Structure 1
Amino acid sequence: MRSASLGGLEVSRVGLGIMGMSAFYTGAGRSEAEFVRTIHRALDLGITHIDTAEVYGPFTNEELLGRALKGRREHAVVATKFGMVSYTGRPGFDSSPANVRLAVEGSLRRLGTDHLDLYYQHRVDPGTPVEETVGALAELVAEGKVRHIGLSEAGPATIRRAHAMHPIAAVQSEYSLWTRDPEAAVLELLRELGIGLVPYAPLGHGFLTGGIRSLEGLDADDWRRTNPRFSGGNLERNLRIVDEVRAVTAEVGATPAQVALAWLLARGGDIAPIPGTTRVSRVEENAGSDDVALTTEQLARLEALTPAAGDRHDAGGMAAIDR
């Protein structure tokens, strides 16, 4: 597996998001043994970049990763997030310095480690100036508890202010063939500042794999059942995107997931997607995207895909991003 650079932090070009092992998706919490095998297989394939967050579960996802990494911690770049759980009693998002201090200790304990390789503010806290949050994170860097700082779904002005306080290594945002939002302003700014981009949901929450053509088979509490792009007739409208990806897939001799990831990887060495999965077979498939080479013509065809129908989050979710 080749590597990518996130503001000086070297990670595998393809990472692993493990949120779905504990929350929000069909199959969450069903087989820890299988989940641990999946994480171990990722490491065996050279996938070093593993992403979690305290709110996934909550807490159980970090605990799972901590158990899976026993004896293998040195082979992993561990990324986690804070700010959507308040330990100070504040309602809503909490990135106050006091909460940052409490959150990091919990994550270190659950993950069974003495340091976090990449620590993200999960969502911008409108009640705390980002300078105060980053100031607290900078202290953790100085203490050796955090190696690199990240932001998730932050807007350009916030990114610039945060980076002026302390170098930001990575910004995490949804980015894929059906979510091109970072291209409007964020990606250019990140490259100006030397910050890497970590696309989450790079397979469109599983949609770009081609395996979802209806909501049948999804658990009743699967988050996608209420997501605007999967509901209200939009799933059927968006099938054209998968069908267009399949046309390229047939030429390349790869899977739709591999083509979708290869398109992202071709965007630059400062982009490191973290496709999520719970299964060994999917980890192996995703890792194979590192070897898929798309032609200029194929990249152009993917570039020209029609935009997805529907917002990528519900109203509350959309209000919490790009701040």
Structure 2
Amino acid sequence: MQTRRVGPFEVSAIGFGCMGLSSGYGGKTPWWRADRVLKDALDAGHTFFDTAMVYGFGHNEKLVGRVLGKHRPRITIASKCGMMVGKERRIDSTPANIKANCESSLKRLNTDVIDLYYLHRWDKRTPIEDAVGALADLVAEGKIRTIGLSEVSAATLRRAHAVHPITALQNEYSPWTRNPELGVMQACRELGVTLVAFSPVGRGFLAGGASDPSKFVKGDMRAGMPRFHGEALQANLKLLAAFTALAREAGCTPAQLCLAWLLAKDPTIVSIPGTTNSAHVAENAAAGDIVLPPEVVAKVDALINERTVTGSRYPPNMQKAVDSELTPAEAAAQAAA
């Protein structure tokens, strides 16, 4: 698999998003399967593993630490802080909470240092400068190596970068979620920040694995996402059929088309698909060697984009919180799309 740079680290261009093994899509994966998937991901060439303290309320970090700890020299581990207090899901970007989160994450991950540590979400009550200052303290103390941010605007990224260099910015990015193109990608290029794309196959929809919401199990976050229901779903299924045909024409699977499309969009992008299925691990890893011709990239752009996808990313309250981070220019661009 090709490699790319994330700050000082050379990592697999397609990393592994660990969240789904513990939360997000219906609870915790049986331990034996989760172990097998992580080991298969390592064997397939994935060297960049993404977790967070909120995934399964610590379960995911413990899983990563237990299974991958012995392979620590071979891998780059990213985790996140600021979105869990005790056993509640709450955003808290205060310096004291960030530092406390780091201490607990180090123990769960069974490591002395976290390679890339993200502020999972910015709570807006704490100046971003103060939050990044706390992360910079952790760098100085040798507890984390580099700093990342998640789901912030280009303007916030620039403010943060002025305090301490930001290594990576994580945003949802796929053919059907194009928000980073509103200004974030340009800022990343200007500042030398890697854009890490999460949910790169549209939370499974563009891979063909989430087309029937009646099959969502309890705890599956997609049950509350407008794109997966009603008229929006019916409209998006028509796009999926055309996208699947385009993948067949390109000689790959729909999931591989998503991943190869992202790698073709910019040489600084790294994606982190997740799965609980070892066959999908191999499928995703193989996408790291696919080079799409420009004309195929253009066909994907024309078929699935912010104008052709129906429904918002999140339920109204969550979508409002995400949109509040957009600058006026970004919000205007999104509204016009």
TM-score by length of 1: 0.95
Q: Give how far 1:78 is off.
A: 0.7
The gaps in structure 2 that reach 5 residues or longer are 326-337
Alignment RMSD: 1.7
Q: Distance in 2 between matches of 1:91 and 1:122?
A: 12
Query: Kindly, what percent of the aligned residue pairs are identical?
Result: 46
| SS of residue matched to 2:80 | strand
Q: Give how far 1:4 is off.
A: 1.3
2:98 aligns with: 100
1:48 aligns with: 47
Please tell me whether residue 189 in structure 1 is matched to residue 190 in structure 2: no
Quick one: which of 217, 235, 249 aligns to 2:247? 249
Q: Distance in 2 between matches of 1:225 and 1:156?
A: 30
Matches within 5 A, 1:28-177: 28-86=27-85, 92-177=90-175
Q: Distance in 2 between matches of 1:99 and 1:220?
A: 30
Q: What is the letter of the counterpart of residue 153 of structure 1?
A: E
Q: Distance in 2 between matches of 1:5 and 1:267?
A: 15
| SS of residue matched to 1:285 | helix
Post-superposition CA distance 1:204-255 (Å, at most 9, x none): 0000102332113221331111111112321221112222221222122211
1:209 aligns with: 207
2:320 aligns with: 319
1:279 aligns with: 277
Post-superposition CA distance 1:165-222 (Å, at most 9, x none): 0000000000001001100111111101110100100000000102332113221331
The gaps in structure 1 that reach 5 residues or longer are none
Which shows bigger deviation, 296-305 or 166-175? 296-305
Quick one: which of 231, 234, 237 aligns to 1:236? 234
Q: Distance in 1 between matches of 2:96 and 2:239?
A: 45
Which shows bigger deviation, 179-188 or 204-213? 204-213
| SS of residue matched to 1:132 | helix
Greater fraction of residues in helix: 2
Q: Distance in 2 between matches of 1:168 and 1:30?
A: 33
Distance 1:196-1:109 versus aligned 2 partners, 3 A rule: same
Contact 1:117 1:146 in 2 (8 A): yes
Contact 1:118 1:148 in 2 (8 A): yes
Contact 1:213 1:236 in 2 (8 A): no
Q: Distance in 1 between matches of 2:318 and 2:272?
A: 20
| SS of residue matched to 1:233 | helix
| SS of residue matched to 1:70 | helix
Contact 2:83 2:121 in 1 (8 A): yes
